[in-house]
Homo-oligomer: A and B are copies of this chain.
């Protein structure tokens, strides 16, 4: 990859970016009734449209919580192959009132034909994927030297699960984390799982973050879409607390991606790229997460 020498990951600190549960634009207090028929309030996440233009071309309207629109826009374009690693972004204009964001590039772009070939994926809120994405996917060489120690995994998931988030406040939201060893660097959330992934991709693109020694954590399922995105982002290790689909596993194996799922507490199962895993921790050392952090998982999920 050409971005190695520019890599800036060492500049990133723990939770360089993290959810802001106190941002009043992202959640709302709503009144209803509970199972006793008594008045009850609930904190719920917001969901609003964002329409994305690449130069003069309207690309997509996606439903999002609305934070980090510039990361979402750039990451979406990157993950759909509409923005190349060496593309120069000349401007990003976001209109908060119109819910419109325009990404402008030095290169003249035209994706009329690509837009025709869109595929509806199994992602929540109907993700999208485009035809030539699989060619990019097949060309990726993931780092053979990357590793994940189980001691890192245990620390990492505990840090993520106990960190303040919209998920802990309101539930019904997905989270994605870009991590280095046991350190969560970039933690983003969105009502659309694919949006959370795209925000990470946007951050990496805008900050020239090297993917080769990173770990990608998601709360979402390890579907074909998720695996394809992680591989095309160049990240060699993908972890989820959720389960797998068979096509996700198939793609992971063909790309040599390390695929770890059902990662809850001390438990996990790896179905691809197992040789990158170093078992240096006693599973018993991984304490269960506090009950207060799992409450929303049981109440209001995905």
Contacts and interface: CB of A to CB of B under 8 A. Distances in A.
Interface of A: 27-28, 30-37, 40, 42, 44-49, 51, 58, 60-64, 115-116, 118-129, 150, 170-172, 190-195, 220-225, 241-249, 261-262, 264, 266-272, 274, 277, 279, 283, 296-302
Contacts of A125: 47, 62-63, 124-126, 192, 223, 225
Contact of A124 (B63, B172, B244, B300): B63
Contacts of A268: 34-35
A122 B47 contact: yes
A267 B301 contact: no
A62 B249 contact: no
7 contacts: A33-B274, A61-B124, A62-B119, A121-B192, A123-B126, A125-B192, A264-B299
Contacts of A274: 32-33
A119 B130 CA distance: 11
Given A124-B194, A125-B125, A126-B194, 6 more contacts: A31-B271, A40-B269, A58-B120, A123-B127, A171-B242, A172-B243
A92 B295 CA distance: 45
